[in-house]
Chains A and B, each alone.
Chain A
Amino acid sequence: MKLAALFVALTLATRVAAQEPRLERLDSAARAPVAALIDSARVTGLPAEPLIQRALEGTTKGAPAGRVVAAVRRLAADLGRAREALGLSTAPLELEAGAAALRAGASPAVLTQLRRARHQPLMVPLAVLADLVASGVPPDSAAAAVLVLAGSVRDADLVEFRRAVERDIALGASPAGAATGVARDAALGVTDLNSSARTGSARPRRP
């Protein structure tokens, strides 16, 4: 029985590796389990490319095989959680962004709320959400700010929003206060986040 299972795994790994020559760069001990994880992801409809890249990243960084396999397995699980929250028809880029947001600390419920609030692709809002959390904005404050904007602004506006928050934090505002203030401003339309006045030499202005 064990021999049969080993044979199946090796067969799958060989088949995936043949389809994906980049996996030849992996340590031999990591190649088969990673290939199996990638094949399993493909079967379940999850994107394979992020998993391949995560494995290649570990290889480039000289990580041991076990760590590479664990990283790929963890990412596959995150992608699965993101799909549960965002829906079965979610695009691969959105899934990847959703997985990153979950890893940053956003809750699955926030991803679901974002899906309901925005009828455009979610890749940028999810990336901005993850960036805000990484900037020190508490996850629920970041989620509230992004949700305020998600239904009405463009991707480029969201990117500018994230930059504006980072700038305010650098100027001394608390992360939560900065996110809240900028989101409120943008939701009001008081400031066009994407206007030239907000780039380059833009200066603080009066309330």
Chain B
Amino acid sequence: MPRAWAAVVGAACSLATLSRTAAAQTTATVDFGISTVRYDGFLTSGAAAIAPSVRWERPNASLTAQGTYLQFESGNRSIQGNVTGSLFTAPTHRWRGQLLATAGASNYAEFTSFHHTIGEARLHRLGEGGGGGTWISGTVGRSSLGGTPRRVLGVAVAGWAQHAGIQLFASANRSVVGDTAFSDLEAAARTRRGAIVWEGYAGVRIWSRGGGRGVYGEGSATIALGNHVAVVLSGGRYPTDPVRGSISGRYAGLAVRVHSPAALRPTPRDFPLHPPSVGSSGTSDPAGRIEVLSQGDRAVRFVVRAPDAGLVEIAGDFTDWQPMALDRGSGGVWEVVVRIPKGIHRIAVRIDGGPWIAPAGARRAEDDYGGEVGIFVVP
């Protein structure tokens, strides 16, 4: 499932080193950071963050708990938490199974609306010498918004390799959250050079229905300043995550990480925010629009831009579908004001006696007659 890529790379490499890890160990980190974030459609904002993480690990199992507290410039805050457990089956030749379970919740400005519970089964095949491998996985779970649960399904295929001190990872997955569906192709790399751990990943979201599309990627450098302290520089762009309810955005951040000595694996980042929306300017379109004038008298003004037209007509249920000519204004604008009763109404526009079409600015719907009709509401 989406974007716990650092954990994914780490988990893949853990698989390779399982036989060399003798006993259980517990590691912990706390990041204290500042960042600038820009969610798509919103102004850039500064934020301060505290992100603790605790990981308990045995040769065949692990349990990770992590959280993030974010305080924005506006005074709003966000809290999110996740707990993930992982259990490996005994190896059979080069095959190995893995079960993962994740539960999490997020809270923005005192209002919890997202939580999720997800289970995943992976089948690994290790490469020769343990220097790489592939896996396939299936995911099932639920994600809830405001008490309304949605089913989460996913399938993925992935491969990883280690070469010359560089860990490489690539995956392709298909996720379905309710009736939102999307596919992500991702690649990640991680290496350590001296006191610095470099990480980067890039992805593209395609075949999306409701999950957004586009290219994204993040990079970070973790600079060790001793056995217990590191500085983390990071930035990038991440996609919408329908499971956790986050929307896409960009960020750049600086954090000080305090960690236990064995905590070499970076904390997977997450962006659990659901920032408030922006104001509305209504719909507009250079080819025409309708405006519903909220003056209490249910007057609706129809405006169509058609500079070259000699006649512009509308028809709708408010005219009993009899054509009504618009008045020519200046600048190629045609308009008419009609009082329309409360309700949902259908409208079509015709220019110079041509076909009836749905005007831009109204919701378009199939009209049962092989074309489209505009739909608007008078509240």
Contacts and interface: CB of A to CB of B under 8 A. Distances in A.
Nearest to A207: B275
Contact of A173 (B41, B208, B317, B369): B41
A163 B363 contact: no
Contacts of B283: 163, 166
Given A93-B343, A164-B278, A71 B368 contact: yes
Interface string A150-192: 0000011001100111111001111111101111111110110
Contact of A140 (B39, B150, B321, B365): B150
Contacts of B248: 172-174, 177
Contacts of B302: none
A71 B344 CA distance: 18
A134 B364 contact: yes
Contacts of B180: 138, 140-141, 176
A124 B342 CA distance: 10
A81 B207 CA distance: 32
Nearest to B315: A60
Contacts of B247: 173-174, 177-178, 180-181
Contact of A100 (B246, B280, B342, B344): B344
A135 B279 CA distance: 17
Contact of B343 (A59, A67, A123, A180): A123
Given A173-B40, A180-B245, A199-B281, A130 B363 contact: yes
A147 interface: yes
Given A138-B210, A148-B146, A74 B368 contact: yes
Nearest to B318: A53
Interface in B282-321: 282-283, 294, 315, 317, 320-321
Contact of B367 (A57, A70, A138, A203): A57
Contact of B280 (A128, A184, A198, A207): A198
A181 B367 contact: no
A75 B248 CA distance: 39
Interface in B304-357: 315, 317, 320-323, 342-344, 346, 348, 356
A200 B281 contact: yes
Interface string B59-94: 000000000000011101000000000000000000
Nearest to A103: B365
B344 A96 contact: yes
A53 B240 contact: no
Q: Is the interface of A mostly helix, strand, loop or mixed?
A: helix
A172 B320 CA distance: 38
Given A172-B41, A173-B247, A60 B280 contact: no
Nearest to A176: B210
Interface residues of A, number: 82
B269 interface: no
Given A100-B344, A207-B72, A176 B356 contact: no
Contact of B150 (A67, A144, A148): A144
Q: Is the interface of B mostly helix, strand, loop or mixed?
A: loop
B11 interface: no
Nearest to B78: A207
A60 to B, nearest CB: 4
B369 A190 contact: no
B306 to A, nearest CB: 19
A47 B346 CA distance: 16
B210 A56 contact: no
Contacts of B41: 167-168, 171-173, 178, 204
A1 interface: no
B194 interface: no
Nearest to B148: A144
A202 interface: yes
Contact of B37 (A53, A202, A207): A207
Given A53-B317, A97-B344, A191 B369 contact: no
Nearest to A63: B369
A175 B210 contact: yes
A137 interface: yes
Interface centre among A75, A136, A181, A198 (most CB of B within 10 A): A181
9 contacts: A67-B370, A70-B368, A100-B344, A134-B365, A164-B279, A173-B212, A173-B248, A191-B276, A206-B73
